[in-house]
Structure 1
């Protein structure tokens, strides 16, 4: 933008200077030529009275003196054919002067001026003055250099002014872009300079208003989530107390463990709501340990529903760029989908392996009914479900994978069922250490 403004100003200023200085340069040249011709004319006219009244010797002395002191060449042609002053041929213009006509004309090397003294019938002589080109152009080169310097100076001044203006405009636009990037990174306290020139100030004001509105909405969202989560804690506390009051046994321990899991999920929701809008921190978790723990939790339910579970988890650690709670929520969403959307007795497999370049690859494959044709892409969108559920499970998985720098792929094997492949990116600097 700044460069384009400079080019535009330079082109416009150059056109204006050419339109102004070119006629002025031609005028200076014409004025210099007219001045030289006028000076030569005055000198020649001073001899007119001498040619008509003095003798030849006095006239010769006056012509020689004038010719020596003048920048032009002066020659006097007398009626008898004599020639006084500078050496010059009898040109057609001189012959015209002998017939009583005064004239001037452009000739090779300068301008020739002829004055006839007396009538053509009683001519006393002809005065010829020759002004060379050097005299006609005297001072023109210096004047043109001054005009060129003036033009360059004016062009530089215009470019300096345009650069200052362009720098201010570009700085305003750059500041707006920087504030936009900061807001995009979650720095909601970033504000643009509203003193920017023209429309940039209007855009800055609007951007600041948008940032303030986003801040208010996020604060309201955090408060709402915190309020809802706090309300859930009361029945959870009651449920834990009831579970602990049950006679000791495996069922009581499972209920308490389930209540603890829900309590951790509520705590994670509150913490995520508080972190939202802040600059994301670098986190890391061991995928192998987290997957083993969550598979062990779901294995009890798999046994109760007669599901054959195959587990193949690579030895850890397998660090991924996720918080432990987010990783566990992703695994729970995948395994929960298997139990929610496949009938009892459906076998499924959980496999975790290192991912090339760092991170881990989690594969959950079941032998259930799978997805119909065309539902693979839509199933990953938030709120989309082909079985009447909330449609949040696979969306949680997708967002978690993308948060770590990975992705999700839904596959339908030839034998039926559904295979979900989740690539989890490794933390920064882990690629070199990846197995």
Structure 2
């Protein structure tokens, strides 16, 4: 902005100065020219009074300008000069001004007893434009000085505007990075100061909303602990020890998931935590074994392809497990019983590729489109899976009957 303001002021000032100084320069030239011609005319008139008297030569010598007097008998008194067409025209009784080599000649016609007398005063170009170049140079320097002064003043004004704007940009980036304590120092023009105050208000409002969210999560934790405790007591009252252990394990897993969500929400400040990592082979294998029990109950055939060794990815084990559960949960929730599915984990040039496919009717086209973008939740768990992939630096791709997660590698 500083550069553009400087260029704008320079262009505007230059146009104004050109419109002002060019006529002034022409006026200076015209004044100098008219002054020289007036002096020449005055010199000629001072000689006119001596025409026809013995004092003519003395009067010519007293004139500082080069004067030539053409007498009727052809003699020339004063400076030597040839009889030009203008001189012959002046002999006819007309006083004229004519261009000559190296300047101008002022011709005054005088009638005497012997005949017409022509007084010629020569004005050189140096006399016509004496001081004009110096005046033009002074105008040029004055114009340049005014342009430079305008640019300097525009730059100072631009600094007053751009410095608060740059400060607002820095505070905005800090807020975007999670530093909710960042505040702008309002300053500059009233409009910019108003933006700074609005940004500070927005930052305070964001902090208030996060505090409200944390309070809501805390309230949620109290609401969920009671039914979880009841579920655990019901499990312990079952007569079948295996069934009681299985339901108790499910209740424990649910409680851990709720606690993880509450802990994450309470500690959320907007600052991105350092990336966790896990062995994708172990996590995917564990979640498939968990869902295998339900698959057997529903008579679903399934295949699992896992790498032969560990495959480290840049996502935490709990987060990856939630993403895998979301994809497998979709298979069981939205395909008929008996529909087969497959899980494949393989190395990828960006990290690891996890593909979950089934033989069901597939996703509608609109869900395929939203699942591969950053749209809102689809209601099928795809949003959870997408966030899992993106948190590792990867992406998610949804096709008709499969979902592929690209998981980023752990950075060394």
Aligned length: 409
**Equivalent residue of 2:33, what SS?**
helix
Q: Check whether the contact 2:104–2:124 (CA below 8 A) recurs between aligned residues.
A: yes
Deviation at 1:145, TM superposition (A): 0.7
Q: Which residue of 2 aligns with 1:327?
A: 320
Structure 1 residue aligned with 2:404, among 408, 421, 430?
Answer: 421
1:164 paired to 2:161: no
Say if 1:392 and 1:217 are closer, same or farther in 2 by CA, change over 3 A.
farther
**Equivalent residue of 2:197, what SS?**
helix
Q: Which residue of 1 aligns with 2:249?
A: 257
Q: Check whether the contact 1:100–1:120 (CA below 8 A) recurs between aligned residues.
A: no
Q: Check whether the contact 1:52–1:124 (CA below 8 A) recurs between aligned residues.
A: no
Deviations 1:411-435, CA, capped at 9 Å, x for gaps: 34xxxxx3322222224x36xxxxx
Say if 1:96 and 1:376 are closer, same or farther in 2 by CA, change over 3 A.
closer
Deviation at 1:339, TM superposition (A): 2.7
Q: Which residue of 2 aligns with 1:415?
A: none
1:400 paired to 2:380: no
| Gap regions ≥5 residues in structure 1 | 385-390, 413-417, 431-435
Q: Map residues 34-45 of structure 1 onto 2, 5 A cutoff.
A: 34-45=34-45
Say if 1:130 and 1:235 are closer, same or farther in 2 by CA, change over 3 A.
same
Structure 1 residue aligned with 2:138, among 143, 146, 150?
Answer: 146
Q: Which residue of 1 aligns with 2:271?
A: 279
Distance 1:407 1:205 in 2: 38
Deviation at 1:142, TM superposition (A): 0.8
Q: Which moved more, 1:280-289 or 1:189-198?
A: 189-198
Distance 2:366 2:117 in 1: 115
Q: Map residues 371-382 of structure 1 onto 2, 5 A cutoff.
A: 371=363, 375-377=367-369, 382=376
Q: Which moved more, 1:6-15 or 1:329-338?
A: 6-15
Distance 1:65 1:166 in 2: 65
* Aligned-pair Cα RMSD in Å: 3.0
Q: Which moved more, 1:32-41 or 1:233-242?
A: 233-242
Distance 1:405 1:48 in 2: 104
TM-score (norm 2): 0.86
Q: Which moved more, 1:239-248 or 1:263-272?
A: 239-248
| Gap regions ≥5 residues in structure 2 | none
Q: Which moved more, 1:220-229 or 1:32-41?
A: 32-41
Distance 2:370 2:20 in 1: 69
1:129 paired to 2:112: no
Deviations 1:194-229, CA, capped at 9 Å, x for gaps: 323253333333333333323322221222122102
Deviation at 1:277, TM superposition (A): 4.0
Q: Which residue of 2 aligns with 1:113?
A: 106
Q: Which residue of 2 aligns with 1:195?
A: 187
Q: Which residue of 1 aligns with 2:8?
A: 8
**Equivalent residue of 2:304, what SS?**
strand
Deviation at 1:35, TM superposition (A): 1.9
Deviations 1:213-272, CA, capped at 9 Å, x for gaps: 233222212221221023212332454455457679433332232122112211221222
Deviations 1:26-66, CA, capped at 9 Å, x for gaps: 111111112222233333333344444335xxx43553464
Deviation at 1:382, TM superposition (A): 4.7
Distance 2:362 2:82 in 1: 117
Q: Check whether the contact 1:236–1:263 (CA below 8 A) recurs between aligned residues.
A: yes
Say if 1:233 and 1:316 are closer, same or farther in 2 by CA, change over 3 A.
farther
Q: Check whether the contact 1:33–1:136 (CA below 8 A) recurs between aligned residues.
A: yes
Q: Check whether the contact 1:284–1:319 (CA below 8 A) recurs between aligned residues.
A: no
Q: Check whether the contact 2:60–2:78 (CA below 8 A) recurs between aligned residues.
A: yes
Q: Check whether the contact 1:76–1:125 (CA below 8 A) recurs between aligned residues.
A: yes
Q: Map residues 17-96 of structure 1 onto 2, 5 A cutoff.
A: 17-55=17-55, 59-60=56-57, 63-64=60-61, 66=63, 70=64, 72-96=65-89
Q: Check whether the contact 2:93–2:116 (CA below 8 A) recurs between aligned residues.
A: no
Say if 1:62 and 1:382 are closer, same or farther in 2 by CA, change over 3 A.
closer
Deviation at 1:125, TM superposition (A): 4.0
Q: Which moved more, 1:107-116 or 1:133-142?
A: 107-116
Deviations 1:376-404, CA, capped at 9 Å, x for gaps: 335776554xxxxxx25222112222232
Distance 1:222 1:337 in 2: 29
